[in-house]
């Protein structure tokens, strides 16, 4: 395939079926597909409809068949517990095959749903792959999620079995899973038949019902189990994401397209080969963990790192550098929040200098918009390309990126680079007309979406159509807003509901955040629009300072306000910048801007299930009161 980005991209858009057929030859099929794209029932497009394959075979067995069974597949490193372990492809398949047998012994078969509610331990990966081996549909729920959220996923998926652990570990605290599981099962109208518990050494729990089974007991009479043949359009997994109605949306992933697309991305987007060590510092409970801790690197046949720790505090701001140094990591993929946390704790990079990062070649950021200041700080420290790329739970892989395995592109700070081959990205205005270059609008993707994206929602075809496919006919609505510049670079400025209207002017909160993040004392920030009787909405800024700042808060606030006035203009009507201790975030690092806005506007809000620390919201209320925002 050509190494010219423009040529490859244009081919993917003009000839999608030929493009993806060629790529599909690189995966294992029990039966190769003859029909590449079925498009008779839009928006329900189907890729590789008559192909037969298996997720686990492509992740493990195929590499063993090719003579690479002794290669390290998975590295587990837990600075919280001090445990480390490496698994070759042979060793990982042995454990997966045996656990697949344990699932079969519990009457789990093709199409049955299995909830996986676990911390970042190898057994979570083993459980995911074992489901794929026998054709069960897994639904991973972030470990430590509240019981009602776990319950809602049990009820929606109608799972037969739940796999969990005795506990998870956070810096300074232990999350006991059994009480959460017991409460969730009590709340659920659908009744789970069996629960398999992995007992973490030193933190075992008593299992006292016929429903509960110890992990080792489940394995004791299990047989090694071969991969079952699966249709390409069967489902690999359900991953639930927040819905605006409060009912979680079950994103489903079809097997064939998932394997084809994700394996292709490892080389073409991330420039990772089978000989490389790759690390995605996320959690298996989120889409990044599904795609880039487990599936894509194993489909590619490289080595993937499973890290049970944090960017700071386990034990210090050098945790990431130690992992990269210890395992000769070539590329890291993480969230901008992680690097802002490191930058706040170690702004001068003193920890960085302690480690050998000669193997390290690139850093990829995604999950939220990466502010230019953080990217520049990381570039200066790491002396490697730092790439902000954009994708979503719904897509499972990047919509836009600097495709380092095809052709390196110029960096434009604040942009998520150009569309990845396969995605026909447009910016549409409210009247459905295409926006001009640099003109703000809704970012959409022309249908059909490429392989590996979501073909529908779990048991909710109409919700899929109404939520994503009806606002602009023939397009998937991403609910992100921004613009595409003259060079085709995509600028993600905010979620659609984060565009604020100030006296008739549509302003991006992301643009204002970009200015605030340039202040030398600001570690991270959030801007939101609050209701105003005169102008409709007014922006307010919340800023968290870097460690060791001695300048007083009032001076910093005034400087921030002046910077926005200077760089965006009086039209922004930006008059409030509040210095706070910390921002409320989800456990995956996303700032809860919508919840803060509801607090400021005195609207009812539901405590977000994914919030990292609920006490932060009380701090925010106090900060808003002290600054006359909340009266």
CATH number of the domain at 182, please: 3.40.50.980
Asked whether the beta carbons of 435 and 427 are under 8 A apart, the reply is: yes
Residue that terminates a domain, selected from 228, 244, 259: 228
Q: Is residue 1 part of a domain?
A: no
Q: Is residue 183 part of a domain?
A: yes
Phi, psi (rounded to 5 degrees) for 137: -100, 115
**Which is nearest to 509 in space by CA: 335, 371, 338?**
371
Q: Which residues pair with 183 in a beta bridge?
A: none
* pLDDT at 506 (0 to 100): 64
Q: Is residue 611 part of a domain?
A: yes
The span from the CA of 292 to the CA of 398, in Å, is 11
- Taken as a whole, the chain contains a residue count of 631
Structural domain harbouring 617: 503-626
Asked whether the beta carbons of 129 and 96 are under 8 A apart, the reply is: yes
Q: Is residue 202 part of a domain?
A: yes
Residue that terminates a domain, selected from 179, 198, 228: 228
172 three-class SS: coil
The span from the CA of 363 to the CA of 376, in Å, is 12
* pLDDT at 68 (0 to 100): 98
Cβ neighbourhood burial of 486 (10 Å; 0-12, 13-18, 19+) = exposed
Asked whether the beta carbons of 234 and 367 are under 8 A apart, the reply is: no
The span from the CA of 498 to the CA of 476, in Å, is 19
Token output for 319? 């945790």
Helices (H), 508-552: 509-517
* pLDDT at 615 (0 to 100): 86
Q: Is residue 563 part of a domain?
A: yes
Q: Give 15-61 as a DSSP string.
A: SHHHHHHHHHTTS--SB--S--EE-SSTT--EESTT-EE-HHIIIII
* pLDDT at 609 (0 to 100): 73
Helices (H), 430-523: 461-464, 509-517
Overall domain count for the chain: 2
459 three-class SS: coil
CATH number of the domain at 612, please: 3.30.300.30
Q: Is residue 470 part of a domain?
A: no
The span from the CA of 262 to the CA of 268, in Å, is 10
Residue that terminates a domain, selected from 183, 210, 228: 228
Q: Going by C-beta distance under 8 Å and a sequence separation of 6 or more, which residues neighbour residue 89? A: 60, 63, 64, 68, 69, 70, 71, 73, 301
Token output for 449? 């979406």
Q: Going by C-beta distance under 8 Å and a sequence separation of 6 or more, which residues neighbour residue 395? A: 449, 452, 453, 454
Consecutive 10-residue averages of pLDDT for the chain (631 residues): 85 98 98 97 98 98 98 97 97 98 98 98 98 98 83 95 96 91 95 96 92 97 98 97 69 98 98 98 93 98 97 94 98 92 92 95 90 93 96 96 96 96 96 94 97 98 96 95 96 77 74 91 92 83 94 96 85 90 83 86 81 85 88 66
* pLDDT at 585 (0 to 100): 86
* pLDDT at 603 (0 to 100): 87
What is the DSSP code (8-state) at residue 314? S
* pLDDT at 452 (0 to 100): 98
* pLDDT at 1 (0 to 100): 47
* pLDDT at 347 (0 to 100): 93
């Amino acid at each position: 395939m050509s190494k010219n980005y423009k040529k490859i991209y244009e081919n993917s858009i003009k000839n999608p079926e030929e493009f993806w057929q060629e790529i599909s030859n690189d995966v294992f099929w029990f039966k190769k597909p003859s029909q590449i794209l079925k498009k008779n029932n839009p928006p329900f497009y189907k890729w590789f409809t008559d192909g037969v394959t298996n997720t686990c075979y492509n992740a493990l067995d195929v590499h063993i068949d090719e003579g690479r069974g002794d290669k390290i597949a998975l590295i587990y490193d837990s600075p919280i517990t001090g445990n480390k372990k490496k698994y070759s492809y042979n060793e990982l398949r042995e454990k997966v095959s045996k656990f697949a047998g344990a699932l079969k012994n519990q009457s789990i078969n093709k199409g049955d749903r299995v909830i996986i509610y676990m911390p970042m331990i190898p057994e979570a990966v083993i459980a995911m792959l074992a489901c794929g081996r026998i054709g069960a549909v897994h639904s991973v729920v972030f470990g430590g999620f509240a019981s009602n959220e776990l319950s809602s996923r049990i009820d929606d998926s109608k799972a037969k079995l739940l796999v969990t652990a005795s506990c998870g570990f956070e810096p300074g605290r232990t999350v006991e899973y059994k009480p959460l599981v017991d409460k969730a099962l009590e709340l659920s109208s659908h009744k789970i038949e069996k629960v398999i518990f992995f007992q973490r050494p030193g933190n075992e729990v008593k299992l006292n019902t016929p429903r509960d089974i110890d992990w080792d007991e489940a394995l004791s009479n299990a047989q090694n189990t071969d991969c079952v043949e699966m249709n390409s359009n069967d489902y690999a997994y359900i991953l639930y994401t927040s819905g605006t109605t409060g009912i979680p949306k079950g994103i489903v992933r079809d097997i064939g397209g998932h394997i084809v697309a994700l394996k292709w991305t490892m080389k073409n987007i991330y420039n990772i080969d089978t000989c490389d060590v790759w690390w995605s510092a996320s959690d298996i409970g989120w889409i990044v963990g599904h795609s880039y801790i487990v599936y894509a690197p194993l489909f590619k046949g490289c080595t993937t790192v499973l890290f049970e720790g944090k960017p700071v505090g386990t034990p210090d701001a050098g945790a990431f550098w130690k992992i990269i140094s210890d395992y000769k990591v070539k590329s890291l993929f993480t969230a901008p929040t992680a690097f802002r946390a490191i930058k706040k704790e170690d702004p001068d990079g003193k920890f960085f200098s302690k480690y050998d990062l000669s193997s390290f070649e690139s850093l990829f950021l995604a999950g939220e918009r990466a502010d230019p200041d953080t990217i520049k700080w990381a570039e200066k420290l790491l002396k490697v390309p730092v790439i902000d790329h954009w994708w979503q739970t719904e897509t499972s892989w990047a919509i836009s990126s600097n495709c380092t395995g095809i052709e390196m592109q110029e960096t434009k700070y604040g942009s998520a680079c150009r569309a990845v081959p396969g995605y026909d990205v447009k910016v549409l205005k409210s009247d459905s007309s295409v926006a001009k270059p640099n003109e703000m609008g809704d970012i959409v993707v022309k249908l059909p979406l490429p392989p590996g994206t979501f073909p529908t929602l779990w048991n909710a075809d109409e919700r899929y159509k109404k939520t994503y496919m009806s606002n602009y006919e023939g397009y998937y609505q991403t609910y992100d807003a921004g613009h595409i510049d003259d060079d085709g670079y995509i600028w993600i400025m905010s979620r659609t509901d984060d565009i604020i209207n100030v006296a008739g002017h549509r302003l991006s909160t992301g643009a204002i955040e970009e200015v605030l993040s340039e202040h030398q004392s600001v570690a991270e920030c959030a801007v939101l629009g609050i209701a105003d009787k005169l102008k409709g909405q007014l922006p307010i800024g919340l800023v968290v300072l870097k460690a060791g700042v001695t300048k007083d808060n009032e001076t910093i606030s005034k400087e921030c306000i002046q910077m926005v006035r200077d760089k965006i203009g009086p039209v922004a009507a930006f008059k409030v910048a509040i210095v706070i201790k910390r921002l409320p975030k989800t456990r995956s690092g996303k700032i809860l801007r919508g919840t803060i806005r509801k607090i400021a506007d005195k609207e009812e809000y539901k405590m977000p299930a994914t919030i990292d620390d609920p006490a932060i919201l009380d701090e925010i209320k106090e900060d808003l009161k002290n600054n006359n925002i909340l009266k």
